[in-house]
Structure 1
Amino acid sequence: MEPITLPASRPVPIHPGIPLLGNTLSFLQNPLGILTTLQQRYDRMVHLRIGGRHQYLVLQPDDAKHVMQENHRNYGRSPAFNVLKIFLGNGLLTSDGDFWRRQRRLAQPAFHRQRLAALAQTMVNETTDWIDELQRLNRRHPVNVSQAFMDVTMRIVCKTLFGSDTIGKLDGLSAALDTLQYQANQRMLSPIRFPMQWPTPAHVRFRKAGELVDSFIYGLINQRRRDGSDQQHDLLAMLQSAEDDDTGERMSDQQLRDECVTLFAAGHETTAVSMAWTLHLLTGHPDVLTRLQTEVKTVLGDTRTPPPDAFRSLPYTLQVVQESLRLYPPAWIMSRLALADDPIGPYTIPAGSTALVSPYLLHRDPASWPDPERFDPDRFGPAGGGDVRHSYAYLPFGGGPRLCIGNQFALMEMQILLALLVRSFTIESVPNQRVDTHPLITLRPKKSISVYLK
C-alpha cells in the first residue's frame, strides 16, 4: 500500500525585524499599529520574534477557530501567563490541563443562567444607587467616567461575588488591583526581567498590593468558613459549595482565593474599561444615543429600580454593547503554546512556539466587517449579517473550551449600567479631549475618558 504523502509545508512569512531583538521594540512601541500593518501586508499567517520567542500570528477566522477550538488540545497556556500567575495564582485564566478542566467543571454551575438572574437584581440596585450619586454632581464639570465605572463595577463585583460583607472594606482595593495588573503588564513585555525576590521599587509595590488583595480575599473566605455559607447566595457561596461529581471534593482555600482574585480582577476592570469606551463612542454618534435613549425610556419607564427581566427587552442596548466590544475588545490579543507541530493550511506552527490570535484584528477584518472602523450597532441587528458571518470573526470573550466563564455576567452588567445611565443623562464629549488606546493586558485608553453628563 502506497504511504500517504502530505503536501510540503511552506515557510511562514517572517516579518522583518532588527538583529537580536527581532520585532520586540516595534511591538512595544506601537502594538496595535504593527498588528494593523501585519493584517494589511500578510494574508493568513506571519512569523514574529518578540521577547526572544517565535510567535505565529494567525489572521483568518478559520485558523483562529482551529487553534482555539478544533485543535485546542494541542495548545496550552503560553509563557506570558506565568507572569499573570504571580498575582492571579492558578485560577481559570492561568491554569491548564486536567486541573483547569476540574476547576472549570466546579465553577460552571455558578454562572448558569438561572444563577445569573438572581444576581441581576444586585446589579440593578447598585447601579441605581450609583446613578443617584452622579445626579448630585456639579453639571458644569465633566465626569471622569473611567474612574466612575471602576467605582461602580467594584461595588457590583463585591456584592455579587462576596455579598454584603464587603461594605466599607474597599479602600485601596481598586488601586491595588490596578498596580498588580500594570506591573504584570510591564514585566510581561519587558525584554529584561529581574527576579521577583529582588527588592526593586516596582517589586515592592507589587508585593504590597498583592498582600492587600490576599488579606481581603482570605479574610472573607475564613469568615465564610466560620459563619457557614448556607444562607448566602453570592458567587463565593456557590464556589464553596461546588463538589466534584467524581470525587466529591471541594475547592481548597487556595483554589477559592485564586478563582476569586481572577473573577474579581476580570469582572471589575474589564467591564469598567469597556463601559468607558462605550460612552466615548456614543459622544461621537448622537443618532445612536438618541435611538438608545428612546428604547430605554420606552421599555423601563420611570421605575427607579426596574425588574431585571425588563432588561431582556432592550435589544438595541445590547447591540450597542456588542459593537463597542467589537471596536475595543478588552482582550485585544491572546496567546497559546503549541505542544506539537500543527499544520494549518500550507504552513506549520512548530512545537514550542506561540500562536497568537488577535480579536482586535479579527474585529476589523473588512472581509467580515464592511467599513470596519465605523461604529454601527445595527451590525448585530436582524439584518446585520450575523447569520452568515464566521463564528470566529467576533471574539470579545475568547472562544472554544476556554470561552470566558463570565461572558453572560459581563454582558448583563454592561446592559444594565448603560440603560440606567442613558435613561437619566444625555452624554456629551469634552472639547479637545484626545482619546488614544493603551494596550496593556487589557485594551485601555491612554488617559481617563471624561464626558459631560447633562
Structure 2
Amino acid sequence: MRHWFSDLTAFQRDPLAFLLERGNSATEPLVPMALGPAPMFLVTDPEIIKPLLKADEGEIDKGRLIHKLRSVVGVSSLTMSGDEYVRRREVLHKYMAKGSVERLTAPMSAEVRAVGARIAKNRSFSPHGALAPLALKMACIALFGRQVLSAADEQTIVAAVRLVEDDLADELFRVVPLMPWESYRRKKRREFARKAMSLVVRRVRDRAHDASVLRALESLGLSDEDLSNEILTMLLTGHHTTGSVAAWLVYHLSTEPGLADAVADEAASITDWSGEIPADRLKNAPISLALVREVLRLYPSAWWFSRETKRDIEFGGRKLRRGTSLIIAPWQLHRDPRHWDEPEKFRLDRSYGNRAYLPFGLGPRACVGMGLAMLELQLIALEFASAYSFGQVTPCPAPRPTPSVTLIPPDMQIEIRIREPARLHASVA
C-alpha cells in the first residue's frame, strides 16, 4: 500500500537509480513520487518542460526546494524570481554570453596551460581536484578580471563548499527533522563556511576590474549584502558545476581510444602562428564541441531542478494543488532510451537538438553562464589534448558520480605525460 513515504527509502539509497527506474518506465508526463507529505512529481515528457519553465510566475515558480539554497548563497539570482531577477539576469547575461566571453579566450587558455604544466610534473592527477579550481579561475577572469583570486582564495572556496554540500544535499529532500544536536552542528559548519567564503568575496570586491560584472551590478544600486550574495553565487557555480563536468571530459579523453589524438589534431588545425586558439576558429572544432556536449549529456552537473505550483492549476494532464513540486531531472532525461539510442554509451555522433537535452535548463530561465561554461570546457579539451597524452585511469571504468547539490565525480587518478613533439603542431594554420 502506497503512502506519503513509499519511495523515500529507494530514493535515499540511490537517487540516480531511482530517477532512471521511475522516469524511464513512465507512461504519463508527470509521475508521482512519494517522498513526504508535500506532493511531488517527476516530469518525464520533454514536450511539457518548456511550457513549464515559461509559465507565469503567479502559477509556477521557484519554490521551497530551490529556496533551501539560500542558507548558503542567500537571496541571489539563483534563488529569486520576479522583476528583480530579470534586472540582475540582464546584467549577468551581458558578461557571460558567448560573444562577450570569447574575447577572453587567450587569457583563459593561458590558465589551462599553467594548470596543465603543474599537474604534468607529478605524472598523475585527480581530475576534479585539479580542474574545479581551474574552472573557478577561468570564471573569475571572465567576470572580475585577471589575478583576482589567489591560490589561497581558491582553496578556501573549495574547502568551504566541501564543508556544507553534503549537509545541504541531505536537507533538500529531508522530511524527518534532524536531531537538535545534529542541526546545531550543521548550523555551525554552515556559519563557518559562510564566513570563510565572505572573506574571499570581500577580496574579490576589492580587486575586481572597473569593467567587470561587479561594477555593473553595483550600478543597479544593490546593497552590500545583495552584491556579496551574487558574487558568492558566481564563485560557487563557476567552480563546482563546470569543474565537475571538466573532470569527466578529461576522463573520456583518457579512456576513449583515439579521442585525445583526434582532439589534438583538431587543436593544431585551428591554432594560429602565435600558438593561440582564436575564438572565431572554435566553430571549426566539431570534435571537441561534440565531446563537451556528450559529457554534458552523460554528467549534467545540475542533475535535477524544480518548480513549484503557486496555486491550484491543471498541468500535464493532472490537477495539481498549490505547493506541488515538479522535478525536472536532466540525469534521467539524458539517459532515457525513448529519446536517445544507447543512452548509457559515450558517442560523438549524436544530434543535440533533442528536447530531452537540457544540461543548462531551457527557455528564459536557462543558466545564464551557459556560454561561459561551453567556452571553458572546449578550451580545456583542446589545450589538454594538444599538450598531453593520458595513460592509466584508476579506477576504470569510473563509478557513477555522487548526487549531492551537483553531481560530484568519484575520486580518480589519471596518468599524464607531455605529448610527443611530432604531434604538437601537426597542422598549424
TM exceeding 0.5 = yes
- 1:149 is paired with a residue whose SS is helix
Q: Partner of 2:186: helix, strand, or coil?
A: helix
- The structure 2 residue matched to 1:357, chosen from 328, 331, 343, is 328
What is the alpha-carbon distance in structure 1 between the residues aligned to residue 281 and residue 402 of structure 2?
35
Q: How many residues matched?
A: 413
The SS at the match of 2:68 is helix
The answer on whether the counterparts of 2:263 and 2:381 sit within 8 Å (CA) in structure 1 is: no
- In structure 1, what is the equivalent of residue 188 of structure 2? 204
Distance between the aligned counterparts of 1:237 and 1:367, measured in 2?
Answer: 47
Any conservation in 2 of the 1:46–1:58 contact (CA below 8 Å)? Answer: yes
Which residue of 45, 58, 68 corresponds with 1:83? Answer: 68
Report sequence identity in percent. 24
1:166-315 mapped onto 2 (5 Å cutoff): 166-170=149-153, 171-194=155-178, 200-221=184-205, 223=206, 232-241=210-219, 243=220, 250-300=221-271, 303-315=274-286
Choose 19-28 or 122-131, whichever is displaced more: 19-28
CA distance in 2, matches of 1:143, 1:302: 31
Q: Secondary structure at the match of 2:263?
A: helix
Report the counterpart of residue 402 of structure 2 in structure 1. 438
| 1:302 Cα deviation after fit | 8.1
Residue in structure 2 matching 1:453, options 416, 419, 423:
416
In the TM superposition, what is the alpha-carbon distance from 1:253 to its structure 2 partner? 1.8
SS at match of 1:22: coil
Q: Residue 83 of structure 2: SS of its match in structure 1?
A: helix
1:342-361 superposed Cα distances (whole Å, 9 cap, x missing partner): 32353233321111111112
Which residue identity lines up with residue 40 of structure 1 in the other structure?
A: N
How far did 1:219 drift?
A: 4.0
1:371 Cα deviation after fit: 1.5
More deviation, 318-327/32-41: 32-41
Q: CA separation of 1:157/1:279 partners in 2, compared to 1, >3 Å: closer, same or farther?
A: same
* 1:419 shift after superposition: 0.7
User: Structure 1 residue 396: deviation in Å?
Assistant: 0.3
Task: Show the counterpart of 1:92.
Answer: 77
- Report the Cα offset of residue 99 of structure 1: 2.5
> Which letter maps to 1:166?
L
**Residues 131, 247 of structure 2: 8 Å contact kept:** yes
Matched residue type, 2:372: F
Counterpart pick for 1:340 among 311, 317, 321: 311
TM-score by length of 2: 0.88
Contact 1:435/1:449 (CA < 8 Å) preserved in 2? no
**Counterpart contact for 2:42–2:326, Cα < 8 Å:** yes
Alpha-carbon shift at residue 130 of structure 1 (Å): 1.3
Does structure 2 retain, via aligned residues, the 8 Å contact 1:180–1:210?
A: no
Per-residue CA deviations over 1:220-271 (Å, capped at 9, x if unaligned) read 33x36xxxx7x63333233334x4xxxxxx3222221111111111111111
- Please give the root-mean-square deviation of Cα atoms over the aligned residues, in Å: 2.5
Q: What residue in structure 2 maps to residue 413 of structure 1?
A: 376
Mapped contact 2:88–2:217 kept (Cα < 8 A) = no
Stretches of structure 1 that go unaligned for 5 or more consecutive residues are: 1-15, 244-249
1:157 aligns with 2:139: yes
Instruction: Quote the Cα distance in structure 2 between the aligned partners of 1:98 and 1:418.
Output: 38
Whether contact under 8 Å (1:122, 1:160) holds in the other structure is no
Mind listing any 5+ residue stretches in structure 2 that lack a counterpart?
418-429
Query: Residues 30-109 of structure 1: matches in 2 within 5 Å?
Result: 30-44=14-28, 45-69=30-54, 74-109=59-94
Match for 2:343 among 358, 372, 389?
A: 372
SS at match of 1:356: strand
TM-aligned CA deviation for residue 312 of structure 1: 3.6
Answer with 190-199 or 36-45: which moved more.
190-199
Q: Which amino acid aligns with 1:437?
A: P
User: Aligned equivalents of 2:165 and 2:335: distance in 1?
Assistant: 26
| CA distance, structure 2, for counterparts of residue 273 and residue 156 of structure 1 | 14
Deviation at 1:412, TM superposition (A): 0.4
C-alpha spacing 1:297/1:51, structure 2 compared with 1 (3 Å): farther
1:8-67: CA deviation from partner (whole Å, max 9, x where unpaired): xxxxxxxx75x4523222111111111111123322221112143210111111122221
* Secondary structure class of the residue paired with 2:54: helix
Residue 69 of structure 1: how far off its partner (Å): 2.5
User: What is the match of residue 362 of structure 2?
Assistant: 399
Q: Is the 8 A contact 1:110 1:239 kept in 2?
A: no
The amino acid of 2:216's aligned partner reads M
Q: Distance in 1 between matches of 2:395 and 2:317?
A: 49
Moved more, 406-415 or 33-42: 33-42
Tell me if the contact between 1:181 and 1:441 (Cα under 8 Å) persists in the aligned partners: yes
- Alpha carbons of 1:182 and 1:159: their partners in 2 closer, same or farther (altered >3 Å)? farther
Cα distance in 2 for partners of 1:135, 1:33 equals: 36
Secondary structure of the 2:367 match is: coil
In the alignment, the residues of structure 2 paired with residue 284 and residue 220 of structure 1 have an alpha-carbon distance, to the nearest angstrom, of 38
Provide the rounded CA distance (Å) in 2 between the counterparts of 1:69 and 1:119.
32
Q: Which structure is larger by alpha-carbon Rg, 1 or 2?
A: 1
Deviation of 1:301 after TM superposition, in Å, equals: 6.7
- Residue number in structure 2 paired with 1:3: none
AA of the residue aligned to 1:94: T
Matched to 2:105, the amino acid is: A
The alpha-carbon distance between structure 1 residues 321 and 196, as it changes in their structure 2 partners (threshold 3 A), is farther
Quickly say closer, same or farther: Cα 1:93–1:428, change in 2 above 3 A.
same
